[in-house]
Amino acid sequence: MDWVQTVLPVGKAAEGFDVSPSGRELWTATPDGTLSVVDLQTSTVTGFEETGLGGALTVWPSPRTAGTSWS
């Protein structure tokens, strides 16, 4: 299987990520609490939010809802 790697500016040390239920967006979180949304069709960052909550990221089935866990 061939694949292409694309590097996008989504914040320092982005590590938690999940793909939306539709498969159209990738959501990623950084330890400092920046949540970024990437459009997977265009490989562009379509939005970000400074939540102040870092950690593992989960996207729920309802549109544009995500949660993080932290210690």
Q: How far is CA 22 from the centre of its chain?
A: 14
Report the percentage of the chain scoring pLDDT > 90. Answer: 13
pLDDT digits (tens, 9 = 90+) for 52-67: 766 566 555 555 555 5
Question: What pTM, to 2 d.p., does this model score?
Answer: 0.70
Query: What are 16-50's pLDDT values in tens digits?
Result: 788 887 889 888 888 887 888 899 999 999 988 78
Neighbouring residues of 57: CB distance < 8 A, sequence distance ≥ 6: 16, 17, 18, 27, 28, 29, 35, 66, 67, 68
Q: Are 70 and 54 in contact (CB under 8 A)?
A: yes
Distance between CA atoms of 33 and 7, rounded to whole angstroms? 20
